[in-house]
Amino acid sequence: MGEQVTEAVEVTRVVDQAHRECWSTVLASVVRLTRDLDLAEDCTQDAFVRALRTWPDGIPDNPGGWLTTVARRLALDLLRRETNLRRKLPLLVEEPGEVEQPTDPLRLVFTCCHPALARESQVALTLRLICGLTTREVAAVLLISEATAAARITRAKKKIAAAGIPYRIPADHELPERMDVVLTVVHLVYTAGYVATGAELTRTDLTGRAIELARLLQRLMPDEPEPQALLGLLLMTEARGDARVSADGELVLLADQDRSRWDGKLLAEGVSRATAALRRGYGRFALQAAVAGLHVTAPSWEETDWQQVVRMYDAMMLSWPTPIVALNRAAAHSLVPGADLEAVLAELETLAKEPALASYAYLPATRADILTRLNRPTEAARCYELAIRLTANETERRFLTNRLSSLE
């Protein structure tokens, strides 16, 4: 009995790992076959369910290949039973003579990010299909309700079916107008993995997939600075990954990280790509990469050029005036030597009225930090309590709880 339990635990672990690493690849392969997103998603999910049932008899050497084969067979069985297939299938066009390629997930991203879809639906659908995120996780990433996320995903699928949106990478002349939303989605994929929902601080399958997609986009558009900037931004962020967690599994903020633990190779490539992008333009990803570069090239947290960081956010606010950019700018401004913390706090009070930040834990956490520095512990405690309630990650919740306890 004990051996059976151990085998079941191991199978569950391997299936879970395969879901994280192979979901989008399996799904993209089935989409190519079925030309129907709902059918492909159902068959892909069924393949993972079958893995849980059959892998106790022996885990395959190539889990991703097994899942792809089973999902495609399930889809073929359904298609063979469909007597009026041509009339019922959505017209997701596949170019004739194509064979499966490593760019299939990128094709799926461009399909989900077609301009016929509303911007918010593009992002929600891509997070669902490319990352295999649950509707609840999509809602958490986008700071919306679960019902709203579900509605956006459903509308997007229906629109793809009705409009006959093609399953392909756009032609060269179409890429510029499609680029911004695809870059945004890839960045959100990375963000979803960088601070994951649940017990783990990071989901390396999501961060790794985002970096993989960013590399594909950079190769697809080598003359565009923004894909280069996004890749540089992700690499510099990824380079700090090992230093984000202490030996006992606790969160370590950038201010306290051991910089010798940063990945020098990733940093060098990230800085190089960010620098190359900045020489060719000041798009929003180039500016974000510039902020990341200022952090990683500073000798220490204390020696960071906070005034220059604020200037980068000022530039971002001109082209991308979102509440989150405004929050990041205010947080950076609070760290400029001699900054008026009361004025920064007033900015945060105004931002607290923004609906987009209503469930964003970093806003009350930032307010709590500044209130602590202003020696107002009672108000800081209330902000920490709110941030703890809003945080969906256990590691971050423990960090905030410790900060709250330190006030007492």
Domain membership of residue 350 (yes or no) is yes
Which DSSP state fits 198? Answer: B
Determine contact, residues 326/317, Cβ cutoff 8 Å: yes
Domain membership of residue 319 (yes or no) is yes
CATH for 381: 1.25.40.10
pLDDT tops 70 at residue 89: no
Length of the chain: 408
| Torsion angle, alpha carbons of 229, 235, 237, 238, to 10 | 160
Domain final residue, candidates 23, 56, 83 = 83
Decide which of 290 and 106 is more confident.
290
Mean pLDDT of 228-233: 98
Closest CA to 16 of 41, 51, 68: 51
Q: Say which range, 76-85, 96-105, 270-279, has the weakest mean pLDDT.
A: 96-105
pLDDT tops 50 at residue 107: yes
pLDDT tops 90 at residue 289: yes
Domain membership of residue 72 (yes or no) is yes
For residue range 127-177, what is the model confidence (pLDDT) as tens digits? Answer: 888 878 888 888 877 778 899 999 999 999 998 888 888 888 888 888 888
For residue range 111-140, what is the model confidence (pLDDT) as tens digits? Answer: 888 888 888 888 888 888 887 888 888 887
236 strand-pairing partners? none
Domain final residue, candidates 46, 64, 83 = 83
For residue range 177-213, what is the model confidence (pLDDT) as tens digits? Answer: 888 889 988 998 899 889 987 788 998 888 998 998 9
Domain membership of residue 116 (yes or no) is no
Domain membership of residue 246 (yes or no) is no
* Residue carrying the six token digits 């509303």: 118
Q: For 143, left (φ over 0), alpha (ψ -120 to 50), or beta?
A: left
Q: Say which range, 162-166, 247-251, 353-357, 379-383, has the weakest mean pLDDT.
A: 162-166
Domain membership of residue 123 (yes or no) is no
Single-letter amino acid, residue 228: Q
Domain membership of residue 124 (yes or no) is no
Our CA angle for 156, 158, 162, nearest 5°, is 120
Sign of the Cα torsion 288, 294, 296, 301 reads: negative
Write down the pLDDT at residue 286.
97
Pairwise CA distance, residues 192 & 31, whole Å: 24
| First and final C-alpha spacing in the chain | 49
Domain final residue, candidates 32, 48, 83 = 83
Pairwise CA distance, residues 206 & 199, whole Å: 15
Q: How many CB atoms sit inside 10 A of residue 235's CB?
A: 26
Determine contact, residues 26/68, Cβ cutoff 8 Å: yes
Number of domains in the chain: 2
Domain membership of residue 38 (yes or no) is yes
Our CA angle for 109, 112, 113, nearest 5°, is 85
Write down the pLDDT at residue 82.
64
Could you tell me what percentage of the chain is helix, strand and coil, using 3-state DSSP and rounding each to the nearest 5? 75, 0, 25
pLDDT tops 80 at residue 2: no
Which DSSP state fits 241? Answer: G
Domain that residue 31 falls in: 1-83
* Tokens coding 383: 């902000």
Pairwise CA distance, residues 331 & 377, whole Å: 18
pLDDT tops 90 at residue 103: no
Mean model confidence pLDDT for the chain: 88
Q: For 300, left (φ over 0), alpha (ψ -120 to 50), or beta?
A: beta
